[in-house]
Structures are given as C-alpha cells and as structure tokens.
Amino acid sequence: MTTERHILVVAHTGREDSLEAALDVCRQLAADGLVPVLPPDDHAPVVAHAPDLAGAALLGDSVQIGDLELVIVLGGDGTILRAAELARGCSAPLLGVNLGHVGFLAESEREDLGETVARVLARDYLVEERMTLSVRVKVDSEVVYETWALNEATVEKASRERMLEVVIEVDGRPLSTFGCDGVVMSTPTGSTAYSFSAGGPVVWPSLDAMLLVPLSPHALFARPLVVGPDSSLAVEILERTPGSAVLWCDGRRMHDLPAGARVVVRRSPVPVRLARLSQGPFTDRLVNKFNLPVSGWRGPVGEEGARP
C-alpha cells in the first residue's frame, strides 16, 4: 500500500525566474511520483504558463495543510515568510531556494534546484526548529488582536512627520519612556532582518532569546536589549503621542494601534521548522550571505571548532 506524498510549492509568481523555477519543480515532483501542491494564489499563474500542470493539487481544496510532507519555497526571504504563514500549524518543514538578493533563510540556490528536489525525494535533509513570537494587542486590558511572527513584530509610527511616545516594558516592569520612530521586537532568526538594519545585534539561531531594538530613539538610554525566551516584552503607546501607530508582523500582517494600546510579545509554543541540506556553521552563513571579508584568516588549525 502506497501513500501519496504532498509537497507544497510556493513561489513569487510575479517574477519570471521564480515562476519558471516553480514549473520545473512541479514537473520534477510529478515525474518522481510525488504530488505537487499549489496555494490558491499561485495556481492560476502556474496553469496559465503551463497547462500541463492543471492537475496540480490545490491547497485547502483537495489537500489540507496537515497532509503536507514539505514546503519548497522559491524566492527570497519574503516568499519564505509567506510560506511560513501558509503552513502555520502543520509539521511540514520549509525548504527555501534562494531567488532573491540575500535569501538568509534559504537553503540552496537556483543552480542547485535539480539536486534539491532529488534530496526531497530521498527525504535527505535535516529539520531545524526556529522560535516564533506570540503577539497580542491590548486596549483597556482587552485583547483586540492576536497574531505571530517568525522574524519580528514592529510598532511603527504611521505618520512620517510625527514620532511615537512609548514606554517599553520587560517582564511586566517599565524600563524606559522615549520618543522614537518605532520599536522592533525580534527572534534570533529576525536578528539579521529588520532588527539588523536598525542596529540590533546578530544573534545565533541556536540561542533562544528575544530582542528589542528602538528605531531612531530620542533618549539617553534606548539601547538594543536581549532577554531570555521566558521573558515578555511590551510596548505601550502613550496617550500623549501626537501621531498614530501601526503594528507590522514579518512585514505581512498589519494592525492599527490607537493611543493607549499595548503590544505584548512572548515566545510562541509553535515553532517554524526549516529543512536543512547541510549542517554548516552559522558563521559561514553570515560570511556567505553578507559577503564579509575574511581574507588572511589562517585559523587555529587542529583546535576544537577550527577548520580541519
């Protein structure tokens, strides 16, 4: 008795290279006896370019997220964040193929696409779990909005000309009040995304922690903070704030914040699972993705953690 293997293929169908890669992957999966599955938004563009793929399964129709074995993502980090949203709540890991600029979450490149699909067919990959954030918005002690984030939850000013007046809180205690353009609350995965651009530290993904990074703060003490995974972070929009605010999670989910709103962030019990084709050190990923200069390094040859 055989069981069908369902592989979700998520692509940036607005880009020709990503769409072509999606066609290649779907055809290779089908040829190898696996069932390619497409999200509703991707099905029409794919079929329009390749009528032979009209029989691809549709997520939420013939195939549910609980039926997925794995998600192949073709694009940059934004496409991977979209795929994480689509697969939220299921155990299927995400395997990213970088077609963007940096592709920090991606595991392979376009030229390795055929080998990547072959590794999927053989189930030849490791699974790594990344912590996510649980995000709540409270107004007058009432929870008015709940969501999650893999990279970051960001409280930002909605009007360019007006700053926010906020008080930040750690573990239920106030820490500092200041004016700013916003506040980023991030996971280690997100430490190389928006938090990085705002001057936050790079945190190795093997470390369970949460980051808080103020955006353009007007204060003497408004440094980036790193707290433990069991802590809670909160940003409260003070009533005296002259402008309005907005919450963004992973740059995908938005919610307006009135004066007096509180955004509370904790570790989510539901991680995101990433498929890895190799166990290379995170240091090498930083060097490769950011093209960091390391010429002249010789290394402590023969010592623990050194090059072989």
Annotated active-site positions, please?
77
DSSP secondary structure string for all residues of 198-258:
TTPPP--TTS--EEEEEES-BSSS---EEE-TT--EEEEE-TT-SS-EEEEETTTEEEEE-
Spatial separation of the C-alpha atoms in residues 249 and 131, rounded to whole Å: 14
| CA distances, 255 to each of 67, 149, 242 (Å) | 31, 13, 18
| Dihedral over alpha carbons 146, 149, 155, 156 (to 10 degrees) | -120
**Coil, strand or helix: which one is 307?**
coil
